[in-house]
């Protein structure tokens, strides 16, 4: 029998799980956010392989680290009101809808389930780019444009768990409607899935587009400028709705770095209502692919920025 190295330390830890499209991310962290272990487990989306791999991982860590003080999980789709499952996730991860994770993992305490973008934001507020903040929005720029929002320290969930779909707000009401019926949405202008449409087939990825723009290609520059302007304009609108202190930008397209953040800063300042001189900070996501796993752990341990130690006067 292999000795369980960490068990003698008897460190209390929380297990955060994030189910993605092609891999499972897991972290074991202390209440203070110290990382004891992390792991990425790839899977193929058939026969609920992802579920079995999660169960195997949890069992392995239980043996190696001792039982966790709590387990949290995040996944794509809309979380159920009772937070025991993902209620709605059509089209992929067959078997995920209504799978009760507390039962499935035979957990002694309830396993709270969050939408993946909600978890990523909670993770970034707990241990990432927005530590200590309470009014934050997150954009994930990738195939589509995902998002999440926290206001007054409260993570917005909404009537059916779909709050924070920030990519699906209108920028140009004469534009085509996206999958969510939103005309000319931010996702239409920024999402990688529309890059061929936006560039008349010239580019297959935003990465190529940004590289060409950086090399001075005028058409590429114009398209990329519209993408960034659409994001800046959307942030301006949403500041009026959500009154954020900070905006976190993550996802693959955020790897464009200054080619994104420098013009974005200018557009946000242009469109932002700077009441009393207030400017929202534009921050780069810090936790990368593990943001959701951190957020799931934070959720399991009851991290809640809505309960501050004190409320400072304005």
Contact residues: a second copy, CB under 8 A: 78, 80-82, 87-88, 134-135, 149, 151-152, 154, 156-166, 168-174, 177, 180-183, 185, 229-230, 233-234, 236-238, 240-245, 270-276, 278, 306, 311-314
Question: For a second copy, which is the closer residue by CB, 22 or 274?
Answer: 274
**3-state secondary structure at position 280:** coil
Question: For a second copy, which is the closer residue by CB, 62 or 281?
Answer: 281
User: Which region, left, alpha or beta, applies to residue 123 given φ > 0 means left and ψ of -120 to 50 means alpha?
Assistant: alpha
CB of 267 to a second copy, least distance (A): 11
Calculate ∠ Cα 35-20-125, nearest 5°. 45
DSSP-assigned beta bridge partners for residue 148: 138
Question: For a second copy, which is the closer residue by CB, 25 or 245?
Answer: 245
CA distances from 247 to 55, 180, 210, 224, 268 (A): 35, 23, 22, 20, 10
Question: For a second copy, which is the closer residue by CB, 61 or 101?
Answer: 101
Nearest 10 degrees: Cα torsion 189, 193, 194, 197: 160
CB of 121 to a second copy, least distance (A): 13
CB of 189 to a second copy, least distance (A): 9
CB of 79 to a second copy, least distance (A): 8
Pick the closest to residue 104 from 64, 71, 143 (CA basis). Answer: 71
CB of 144 to a second copy, least distance (A): 12
Torsion sign over Cα 234, 86, 68, 3: negative
Question: For a second copy, which is the closer residue by CB, 8 or 132?
Answer: 132
Residue with tokens 């752990």: 297
């Amino acid at each position: 029998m292999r000795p369980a190295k960490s068990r003698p330390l008897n460190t209390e830890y929380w297990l955060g799980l994030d189910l993605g499209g092609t891999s499972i991310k897991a972290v074991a962290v202390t209440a203070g956010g110290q990382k004891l272990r992390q792991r990425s487990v790839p899977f193929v989306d058939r026969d609920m392989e992802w579920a079995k791999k999660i169960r195997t991982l949890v069992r392995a860590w239980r043996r190696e680290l001792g039982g966790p003080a709590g387990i949290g999980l995040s996944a794509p789709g809309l979380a159920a009101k009772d937070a025991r499952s993902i209620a709605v996730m059509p089209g992929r991860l067959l078997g995920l809808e209504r799978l009760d994770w507390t039962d499935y993992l035979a957990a002694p305490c309830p396993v709270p389930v969050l939408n993946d973008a909600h978890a990523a934001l909670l993770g970034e507020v707990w241990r990432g780019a927005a530590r200590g903040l309470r009014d934050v929005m997150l954009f994930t720029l990738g195939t589509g444009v995902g998002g999440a929002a926290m206001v007054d320290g409260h993570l917005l969930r909404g009537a059916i768990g779909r709050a924070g779909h920030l990519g699906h707000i209108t920028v140009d009401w004469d534009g085509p409607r996206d999958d969510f019926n939103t005309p000319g949405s931010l996702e239409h202008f920024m999402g990688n899935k529309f890059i061929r449409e936006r560039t008349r087939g010239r580019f297959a990825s935003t990465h190529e587009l940004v590289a060409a723009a950086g090399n001075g290609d005028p058409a590429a520059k114009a398209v990329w400028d519209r993408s960034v302007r659409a994001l800046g304009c959307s942030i301006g609108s949403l500041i009026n709705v959500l009154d954020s202190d900070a905006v976190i930008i993550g996802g693959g397209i955020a790897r464009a770095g200054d080619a994104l953040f420098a013009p974005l800063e200018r557009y946000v300042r242009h469109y932002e209502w700077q009441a009393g001189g207030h400017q929202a900070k534009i921050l780069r996501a810090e936790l990368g692919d593990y943001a959701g796993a951190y957020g799931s752990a934070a959720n399991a341990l009851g991290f809640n920025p809505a309960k501050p130690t004190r409320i400072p006067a304005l």
